[in-house]
Amino acid sequence: MHAIETRGLTKKFDALTAVKQVDLQVAQGEIFGLLGPNGAGKTTFIKMLSTLSEPTEGDARVWGHDIRREKDAVRHDIGMVFQDPAVDDRLTGRENLDFHARMYGMKKTDRISRIGEVLDLVGLTDKAGELLRNYSGGMKRRLEIARGLMHFPRVLFLDEPTLGLDPQTRYHIWEYIKGLNAQEQVTIVLTTHYMEEADELCSRIGIIDYGSILVIDTPEALKNTLGNDLLTVKAADLDALQQAFGNESWVLEVNRFDSSLVLSVQQGEEKVPLAVNTAQKHGVTLTSVSVRKPTLDDVFLHYTGKSIREEDVSEKDQIRGRMRMHGSGRR
C-alpha cells in the first residue's frame, strides 16, 4: 500500500483548472517534495488530500482511505502544518499541544507523554511554558510541526514550512524535519518553492506549474537530465549566438533565458575557450561567461521555460489573477 495515491485528481474554480489530472504515488516513509511557484497548485492539491477541499474530478487515497468517502479516517491518519499560522499566541506552547490532542480525543496520560516527546523532538522543551506571543518565527514553526505530530499521524503535510524564515532558521527546521522522518517513521509531503529546501530534504520531487505535474524523479536524476555542466554566456546579440551554438557538436542543448544563453556541455571549464571562439567567428563579443553544475533551479527553467516565481502573494491571489486573464482572453 502506498501512503498516497492519486488518479486524475483535478480541482476547478469556475473556468480555471487549478490542479489538472494529477497521477501520483508516494511510498510509505518517503519525503516527497512538491516544488513550484506561488499559485502553481501546491496548496490546492494538499487541501484535497487532507479533505479540506472537494476534488472536481479524479480519485485519491491517503493511507488506504478514500478522500471522498472516508474523510474521518483520512483526517485521523494525517497531520497538517499550514502555510499560515494555526496556533494561538494567547496560549503557551504546551497548552497549544494539549488543545490539539484533546480535539483528537487523546487520553490525559497519553497527552502528557506525547507532548513531552514532540517538544523534545523539535527542541522546545525549555520553552513549553511560555506564551506563543513571545516565540520567534522559527520557534512557532517548530511548535506547529510538533502540533501536527501529536496524534501519531501516518502522513504529515508541510505546506511551505519555512516560508519567510531567515536562512539559519530555515536550516534548523530542515534538521528537525529529517529527524522526525527518521524517528517517527512518518511519510512527509513537503510543498515549497525553495529549490535548496527540496534538494536537501526530499527523496523524490515533483515539479508543478499551472496545476500540472511536469516531471517526478530524484533530485540527482533531475539535475543529471541537464548534462554535466552548464555554461552561461551573455552578449548583446543573443539571436545570432543562439543559432551559432546550436550548430556546435560540443553543445548538447541551448536554452535562452532573459539576457543569457545556457549551454549544456561536458567538461564545462574546457569549453569556455570554444565558446569565446564561436562568438568571435560570428562577430559577437561575449560580456560574461560562467560555468557551474546544474541545480534544481536549472531543472525548473528547463521544464517550465522560466525561473521560479517567488512573489509574496498567496495562491488564492494567483488563481484570481489567472481567472481574470482567462476571462479577458474570452472577450
| pLDDT tier at 83, thresholds 50, 70, 90 | confident
More confident residue, 61 or 122: 61
The CA-based dihedral angle spanning residues 283, 287, 310, 292, taken in that order and rounded to the nearest 10 degrees: 100
My answer on whether 188 and 243 are in the same domain is no
Question: What is the spatial distance between Cα 220 and Cα 122, in angstroms, rounded to a whole number?
Answer: 28
Percent of the chain exceeding pLDDT 90 equals 67
- Does residue 72 lie within any of the structural domains? yes
Whose grid coordinates read 489530472?
A: 21
- Does residue 26 lie within any of the structural domains? yes
Mean pLDDT of 87-106: 95
My answer on whether 45 and 193 are in the same domain is yes
Predicted confidence (pLDDT) at residue 289 exceeds the cutoff of 50: yes
Question: What is the spatial distance between Cα 184 and Cα 285, in angstroms, rounded to a whole number?
Answer: 57
Q: Are 33 and 215 in contact (CB under 8 A)?
A: no
The structure's pTM equals 0.80
Number of domains in the chain: 2
My answer on whether 127 and 275 are in the same domain is no
Question: β-pairing, 286-292 with 229-235?
Answer: antiparallel
My answer on whether 88 and 177 are in the same domain is yes
Whose grid coordinates read 516565540?
A: 135
Task: Tell me which residue range forms the domain holding 121.
Answer: 4-222
My answer on whether 151 and 275 are in the same domain is no
pLDDT digits (tens, 9 = 90+) for 18-50: 999 999 999 999 999 999 887 889 989 999 999
My answer on whether 12 and 157 are in the same domain is yes
